[in-house]
Chains A and B, each alone.
Chain A
Amino acid sequence: MTTIWKKAIRDFWQERARTALVVLAIALGISAFAAVLSSYAILTRELDRGYLETNPASAVLRVDSIDNDLVKAILQNPEVSDAEPRRTIGGQIKAGPVQWRNLILFVVEDYGNIRVSKLVPESGAWPPANGEILIERDAFQVAKVNIGDAVTVKTANGVETPLVISGSVHDVGQAQARMENIVYGYTNLATLVQLGEEPRFDQLNILVAQNRFDEDHIRRVANDVEKLIESRGHNVRRVDIPRPGKHPHSDLTGILLLAMSSFGLFVLVLSGILVINLLTAMMASQVRQIGVMKAIGGTRWAVARIYFAQALFLGIAAVIVSIPLGILGSRALCQYMAMFLNFDINSFAVPIWVYLLVALIGVIAPLIAAAYPVWRGTATPVRVALADFGLSQANFGAGAFDRALTRIGGTFSLIAFAIRNSFRRRARLVLTLLTLAAGGLFFLSALNVRASMVNTLDRMFAARKSDLTISFARGYEFEKIQKAVSNTAGVKRAEGWFTGEGSLGERRFTVVALPGDTQLLDFDIIEGRKLTPQDTDAIVINNALAGREPKMRVGETVVLRIGTEEKAWRVVGIAREAFAPSPVGYVPLTGTVNSLRLALDNADPDSIGALKTELDRNLEAEGIRARGSSTKGESRFGFDQHMVMIYVFLIVMSAIVGGVGGLGLMTTMSLNVLERRREMGVMRALGATPRIVWLMIVAEGVVIGVLSWTIAALLAWPVSKAIGDSLVKVMFHSGLDFTFEPLGLVIWMLVSIGLSAVASFLPAWRASRVTVREALAYE
């Protein structure tokens, strides 16, 4: 090893405490990046692998009825490798006195031979015997049941049937039950008969023989199958083609991980700032050594190599520390995401390319950060470098800004002194403020985005005036329903709505028919107007539909197919619906209704439960069967669950960035103390006690903390809004009703002061321990 490398290593060892801080900061950045990158690699692999292992259906056809002959005929098509009938039926479930929960019941023909969209048995019975039901593993918490519990299940026909929960299954393709607030159940045809339903299948899952990931091919095959079914006298209600080979949550996961990766890189950039600070200070303290090296034959590059080598050591050390940390972090993140998305991870193995990329970025980032300070530091001419008198001679007071600072605080005080001192090394101050303010910005943004989401949801739910929605399996005359409602106490207002499907050309959307003078939906009109009782051919569309269909502009007339009828509709308004990515059109109600919207006198869960029981009875008395129900509170819970992931992400981000900022401040303060060691000796010689020296440095750190808070507070509004808007836009295709959380400013002020005081404590303590003789002798 040449002396050049030896010097690089020993200089770092000499500054080991500071070096360790910087390594830690870089390691934090690389760990965050490594954790996210590994998670990305693991989750995308495991999510799609787990999903593909279930042999997901290439296409799902909703048919009036399916028999074995029809399945056999479809399997004659060589393009179809498999076809399996199922039945999906809506209903309700309850265990004991617990109120009814919405249930989606899947009826499987032969549990011993599921070939398409397989289920994975988890525990208990398999297959379910007659009179038994299996529950999706994530839905147990929603249903509030355990294996072995007796439950009551009813479908739209209203027949309440006692069943036993005999086991748990994992249905990889379903959304998380907790988030959707739905119970997924699995049973057989015989049990379906017990529930009073016809023993028939109405859903056909097909698997294409070739090109399983080619959506166009699948569509062509599905069309052929649709034609065949229709040619045999059946009616195909709908054909769904899921994204081939991709878990339904694959995109959402990808977006989240992409956001996290950007954040990991951002933290890495922030830690690079610390490298700049450390190396700038180190080079400034070695100006004379640089001069000597150049005087004895060192070229600029030869000298620069020493400091680049140090940056390289920083990177290597940080990579060594951060890879295990990153792997641990990725495990935690993957487990959280797997729980959130309800899938299992078989292997946490991290691909080699992740290690290589992390190592490469970890090593290169400090080198890039070092480039400017090293190149600038080695540019000093030999004569100037040899004449350097040390850093304590750095000028302060030459500029107008310095002189302006002297007017702060009037006469001398600790704070005034701390303010002036903090501005002595301005480039370093700016870089330190940048890291600290970034931490503050993320923290404030996390709180503001959370407050804005809550605000948006509050506004959205405030527009929905119904506390309870009862859905029916078919359409009923509203007058008949109203009779049942009028016999039920506690109802403030009731409206009958009809929810169906419409289409513009090939593209489908949800159509909601509601009274033109509805009091239970307060449209947030962004263009045009809302519906009126006089409207007959008017349609109000939500922003999602307006975004998807450019033809549907206010004032335009479009021909839509709603149900079986094709008719011209006039677009009269566009309503904004936050967090509603599905396109919806609202039209005036003309016929029967398939849901009942109720505004209640008391909307607490107990009152709603009691009212529902009474209403069910009254509806049954009128011969009306409810298929399901949902309360405003339950819908809100589902939305809140979706938001939790964003809050957690933002808070974790701010904690890591704040940590890097704290380490940055600690490095800055220790460099400031080092450079002013002789000055402190002079102060001590003049009578300053160690406590005053200690206080002086802590005060300086706190001044920097308060300055960073000011920057973060000033930028918090626009940055929070931008982060919130972009996150919500990417995840939910909608905007955010921004609101500023003032409490965040108070909390971050306290955190900033605390963090600054803690970060400067150690350098201050060390400075106060140096004897006057040592301090004055320091060069």
Chain B
Amino acid sequence: MISLNHVSKTYETPAGKFAALKDIDLEIRPGEFVGVVGKSGSGKSTLLNMVAGIDRPSSGSVAVAGTEIHALSENKLAAWRGRNVGFVFQFFQLLPTLTAAENVMLPMDFSKTIPLRERRKRAVELLDLVAVRSHADKLPATLSGGEQQRVAIARALANEPPLVLADEPTGNLDSVTAKEILDLFRNMANRGITVVIATHEADIARVIDRKIEISDGKIHPQISQI
């Protein structure tokens, strides 16, 4: 599903060059639920960005579901992402002027993979799946953090992507809500969706299939297999 070969990423900063990823090799299978664990600044978000095509490697190659995404243009990447990747952010990042259902419909409007008339119905179904159907017509500002993250997860599933990436999805939630959200991701993986979560939460081991530890831009040699 996901294949990273000798991926390195170096940023030019005013203080000099900073290597965020160093010669990463990684394979993730379809339907696998992977947790990328590491401290802040370890490179886990950069790794996720590489997989989502949000960032490009300085060297090496990234292939997702058979597509060499590092070779795609920005516009093709966006279109590819819309159909193949669902992204969940730490701060939910719902668009404030759209209702919950409309936030979920937005990727469908971008990708046009689902007929116009069916988009609302599907959005409500997805909101139902994450247990916030009753909030479908509410604006994000009126929802709690947990509810917003559920909407964000529903949005990530809008176009039935084979891959869902989540960057610190529970980082801004209380422990009870965080547990519920992780269970949602587990359910996704159970349904065959590949899920990759970047987190520094220790108790993620409960739900994931495989843990990848990352520090100083390198994958830790002792990869834990659950």
Contact = CB atoms under 8 A, between A and B. Distances in A.
B98 A292 contact: no
B78 A298 contact: yes
Given A3-B109, A386-B89, A300 B116 contact: no
A289 B116 contact: no
Given A298-B82, A300-B74, A386-B89, A289 B110 contact: no
Nearest to B53: A382
Interface residues of A, number: 26
Given A3-B102, A10-B98, A383-B54, A297 B107 contact: yes
A296 interface: yes
Interface string A363-404: 000000000000000000111001000000000000000000
A286 to B, nearest CB: 9
A31 B157 CA distance: 49
A297 B97 contact: no
A6 B102 contact: yes
A2 interface: yes
Contacts of A288: 93
B74 A381 contact: yes
B110 A296 contact: yes
Contacts of A382: 54-55, 78
A297 B83 contact: yes
A295 B109 contact: no
A299 B155 contact: no
A11 interface: yes
A45 interface: no
Interface in B48-74: 49, 52, 54-55, 74
A778 interface: no
A299 B97 contact: no
B75 A292 contact: no
A14 B98 CA distance: 11
B211 interface: no
Given A11-B97, A299-B78, A2 B116 contact: yes
Interface in A686-734: none
A296 B82 contact: yes
A382 B167 CA distance: 14
Interface string A514-538: 0000000000000000000000000
Contact of B106 (A14, A296, A301, A386): A296
Interface string B68-105: 00000011001101110011010001011110001101
Nearest to A10: B97
A677 interface: no
A295 B81 contact: yes
A304 to B, nearest CB: 11
A383 B159 contact: no
Identify whether the interface residues of A are mostly helix, strand, loop, or mixed.
helix
B111 interface: yes
Contacts of A2: 105, 109, 116
Contacts of A381: 55, 74
Contact of B54 (A4, A7, A300, A386): A386
A758 interface: no
A298 B97 contact: no
A382 B87 CA distance: 12
A11 B139 CA distance: 13
A39 to B, nearest CB: 41
Given A6-B102, A298-B110, A292 B93 contact: yes
Nearest to B75: A299
B78 A297 contact: yes
Contacts of B79: 297, 299
A302 interface: yes
B97 A295 contact: no
Contact of B155 (A11, A289, A294, A296): A296
A12 B198 CA distance: 35
Contacts of B107: 296-297
Interface residues of B, number: 32
A762 interface: no
Contacts of A142: none
B75 A295 contact: no
B153 to A, nearest CB: 12
Contact of A297 (B49, B55, B159): B159
A12 to B, nearest CB: 9
A386 B87 CA distance: 12
B115 to A, nearest CB: 12
A473 interface: no
A293 interface: yes
Contacts of A6: 97-98, 102
A91 B55 CA distance: 92
Contacts of B159: 297
Nearest to B74: A300
Contacts of B78: 294, 297-300, 302, 382
Contact of A7 (B82, B89, B98): B98
A382 B89 CA distance: 13
B111 A293 contact: no
Contacts of B105: 2-3
Interface string A295-313: 1111111100000000000
Contact of A296 (B74, B81, B97, B102): B81
B97 A293 contact: no
B165 to A, nearest CB: 9
Contacts of B83: 297
Contacts of A299: 75, 78-79, 110
A270 to B, nearest CB: 29
Interface in A502-560: none
Nearest to A13: B97
Contacts of B110: 4, 293, 296-299, 302
Most buried by B among A11, A296, A298: A296
Interface string B40-52: 0000000001001
A298 B96 CA distance: 17
Contacts of B54: 295, 382-383, 386
Interface string B15-40: 00000000000000000000000000
A531 B28 CA distance: 105
A293 B52 contact: no
A381 B96 CA distance: 21
Nearest to A12: B97
A3 B97 CA distance: 10
B55 A293 contact: no
Nearest to A9: B97
A297 B102 contact: no
Contacts of B106: 3-4, 7, 293, 296, 298
Given A6-B98, A383-B49, A297 B93 contact: no
A382 B45 CA distance: 13
B67 to A, nearest CB: 14
Contacts of A10: 97-98
Nearest to A4: B109
B87 A296 contact: yes
Most buried by A among B82, B93, B95: B95
Nearest to B46: A383
Contacts of A289: 93, 95-96
Interface string B112-156: 000010000000000000000000000000000000000000011
B152 to A, nearest CB: 10
Given A13-B97, A299-B79, 10 more contacts: A2-B109, A4-B109, A295-B52, A295-B81, A296-B106, A296-B156, A297-B82, A299-B110, A300-B78, A381-B55
Q: Which 5 A-B pairs have the closest CB atoms?
A: A297-B82, A10-B97, A297-B110, A292-B93, A2-B109
15 contacts: A289-B93, A289-B96, A292-B93, A292-B95, A295-B52, A295-B54, A296-B107, A297-B83, A297-B107, A297-B159, A300-B74, A300-B78, A302-B78, A381-B74, A383-B54
Interface of B: 49, 52, 54-55, 74-75, 78-79, 81-83, 86-87, 89, 93, 95-98, 102-103, 105-107, 109-111, 116, 155-156, 158-159
Interface of A: 2-4, 6-7, 10-11, 13-14, 288-289, 292-302, 381-383, 386
